[in-house]
Amino acid sequence: TSSLEIKARELGISISPGAYIFLLPPIAGFIGSDHTSVVLASGIDDESGNCIGIDIGTNTEIVLKSNKGFESVSTASGPAFEGAHIKFGMRAAPGAIERVIIDPDTCIPKIQTINDKKPVGICGSGILDAVAEMLKAGIINSRGKFQSDTGCLCRDDRGSLQYILEPLEYRNLTGEEEANKWEDKVNKGGITGGLYKMENEQKENVTENMEGNINKGNIKDRINLQLEKNMERNRYGFNQCPLGKVSINQTDIVEIQLAKSAIRTGINVLLESAGLGFDQIDKIIIAGAFGSYIDPKNVVNIGMFPKVSLKKITQIGNAAAVGAKMVLISGMQRKKAENIAKKIKYLELTVPPTFSDHFARSTLFPESSDII
């Protein structure tokens, strides 16, 4: 847990001949210098009360400052939040679904993609949103299992249930209605063939023989009626899933359960070690680029964080990089970082006898009555 200073030229770095590379002290084998930097930049050391700092990644580091001092754990949350092990998972790039809202009455999703591009996959923030919204809409239960009686699902070529995240062609988080878009097409003379393309690829001819015998004034009513009919006979009715559409399957949900359980278990173990309850948490600080984009409400709703007031949750961005800049320009901050690393006690996550129980319970999602 000591810092290092190495001459830059010894590492083959071509900068000022007298320059040094400064390496912040690590905390333990699985908690490196980046977490020391996060604690420094976040100001947790200066916080009063019980404060949790979390840097979410493939390995998620969690620190708790309490009256007992500093304790920290590393959890193997895995790469699911970075899009790995998810069928349509991808990094946060153009076309990635980053926000999801599901109408609980119709199961129809609204999505937002990065740069408003056509959906090609889903990134970490979108996955969290999707799972939280599916839970809220009753598409999955507290065990993460699909509820087949919702009528919101279809089957892939292997017969496995899926929830399609790509909604009707024109519906998105901008709030524009399909019927209005359809009227735009009509006004531009684009109704030839009379097909209103549904994302489920079942092209319902809702305007058959409309030209010449139906005036434009009731087109919206006809479209809305057709949408209602589709909903009544179930969104897909367990038909074959449309090919190539971004979806969530049961395996994806399990991956999220394992990832969120690892993080929640780390929080639980730290609180247990400090003798604290969830209601005694004064502040939760989320660090990291990914942590900047997640919706705190949905993180609580899937049970990854304890049920706390959202006012207690703060997102601070890439704190590790900020901490590195702080020690780069200040000798005082270097000393502070070294003191922080010495003060933090590393807690081996799997050692407490309650670990297995915490992990098993944390794989469950909250009941609908606990969703905010």
Q: Which residue segments constitute the domains of the chain, with CATH numbers given? A: 4-76+262-291+304-370 (3.30.420), 175-236 (no CATH)
Query: For residues 225, 226, 231 and 237, what is the CA-based torsion angle, rounded to 10 degrees?
Result: 160
8 A C-beta contact, residue 204 and residue 230: yes
Q: Tell me what pLDDT residue 218 has.
A: 53
CA 206 – CA 226 distance, rounded (Å) = 7
Residue 49 has pLDDT above 80, yes or no: yes
Q: Tell me what pLDDT residue 3 has.
A: 83
Place of tokens 């070294």: 338
pLDDT band at 1 (very low <50, low <70, confident <90, very high): low
What pLDDT digit, counting tens, does each position of 253-300 carry? 999 999 999 999 999 999 999 999 999 999 999 998 888 899 999 999
Q: Tell me what pLDDT residue 66 has.
A: 95
8 A C-beta contact, residue 199 and residue 164: yes
Q: Which residues pair with 60 in a beta bridge?
A: 75
Q: Tell me what pLDDT residue 315 has.
A: 96
8 A C-beta contact, residue 327 and residue 37: yes
Provide mean pLDDT across the span 151-178.
Answer: 69
pLDDT band at 16 (very low <50, low <70, confident <90, very high): confident
Provide mean pLDDT across the span 97-112.
Answer: 92
Q: Tell me what pLDDT residue 199 has.
A: 35
Angle of helix 355-362 relative to helix 250-274, nearest 10 degrees? 140
Q: Which of 334, 255, 247, 340 is nearest to 20 (CA)?
A: 334
CA 347 – CA 266 distance, rounded (Å) = 10
Q: Tell me which DSSP letter residue 75 carries.
A: E
Residue type, position 202, single letter: Q
Angle of helix 331-343 relative to helix 319-329, nearest 10 degrees? 130
CA 251 – CA 163 distance, rounded (Å) = 12
**Helix, strand or coil, per DSSP, at residue 97:** strand
pLDDT band at 149 (very low <50, low <70, confident <90, very high): confident
Among 122-126, 158-162, 229-233, 342-346, the least confident range: 229-233
User: Strand pairing of 121-122 and 96-102?
Assistant: parallel
pLDDT band at 327 (very low <50, low <70, confident <90, very high): very high
Q: Tell me what pLDDT residue 357 has.
A: 96
8 A C-beta contact, residue 129 and residue 121: no
8 A C-beta contact, residue 222 and residue 207: yes
Q: What percent of the chain has pLDDT over 90?
A: 56
Helix (H) or strand (E) holding 222: helix 219-232
State the average pLDDT for the chain. Answer: 82
Alpha-carbon Rg of the chain, whole angstroms?
25
Residue 236 has pLDDT above 80, yes or no: no
Residue 231 has pLDDT above 70, yes or no: no
| Distance in Å from the first CA to the final CA of the chain | 41
pLDDT band at 208 (very low <50, low <70, confident <90, very high): very low
C-alpha distances out from residue 185 to 107, 198, 275, Å: 26, 15, 63
**Helix, strand or coil, per DSSP, at residue 336:** helix
Among 97-111, 160-174, 302-316, the least confident range: 160-174
Identify which of 55-59, 205-209, 224-228 has the greatest average pLDDT: 55-59
Provide mean pLDDT across the span 120-130.
Answer: 95
CA 171 – CA 253 distance, rounded (Å) = 24
Q: Tell me which DSSP letter residue 26 carries.
A: P
